[in-house]
Amino acid sequence: MNRTIDKKESFLVLVIICIFSLLLVIFSIRGVNIARDLTLQANMERISSTLFEYYISNDSFPASEKCNLKDSCPSLKEKIDVFVYQDIFYESNKEDYIIYGRSFQDRKSFFVFDSDLKMEKVLVLPEL
């Protein structure tokens, strides 16, 4: 008895393959966003350690209004050697500073690193 696959069965197999492919794409994108968040956190920690080296040498943090380390902050980049390819923002009043960047995984939240050397994931940015 030779049995062939009819149209309904082949359509069902095609639908199942499409569902698995969609799930694979969704989990891959999620994994990429988790990796981007980890890279953002590592870059923020690196910048923070550079700022503390500056603080030890000068007894204050570089003063700056809110600026994007990727595109602007020329006065800050003159004082500390930093290269950033992500949107990381810096703000300081010489006594305290905050560094923050938007999470890739949850676009409503921010990673915030401050002069107390603690990183938090918050929904509302703190003020200096």
pLDDT of the residue at 76:
82
Q: Which residues contact 36 (CB under 8 A, 6 or more apart)?
A: 104, 105
For residues 84-112, average pLDDT: 90
Q: What pLDDT does residue 80 have?
A: 83
8-state DSSP, 107: T
Backbone angles phi, psi at 71, to 5 degrees: -110, -30
Entry pTM: 0.80
pLDDT of 99 > 70? The answer is: yes
pLDDT interval class at 89 (50, 70, 90): very high
**Sign for the pseudo-dihedral over CA of 16, 19, 20, 21:** positive
In this structure, how many other beta carbons lie within 10 angstroms of the beta carbon of residue 46? 13
In this predicted structure, the answer to whether residue 78 has a pLDDT above a threshold of 70 is yes
Strands (DSSP E) found in the chain: 64-68, 89-92, 97-102, 110-114, 119-122
Percentage above 70 pLDDT, the chain: 98
Q: Would you say 51 and 61 are in contact if contact means Cβ atoms under 8 Å apart?
A: yes
Q: What pLDDT band is residue 38 in, cutting at 50, 70 and 90?
A: very high
Local structure of 39: helix, strand or coil: helix
Domain parsing of the chain, residue ranges: 7-122
Q: Give me the phi and psi of 113, to 5 degrees please.
A: -120, 125
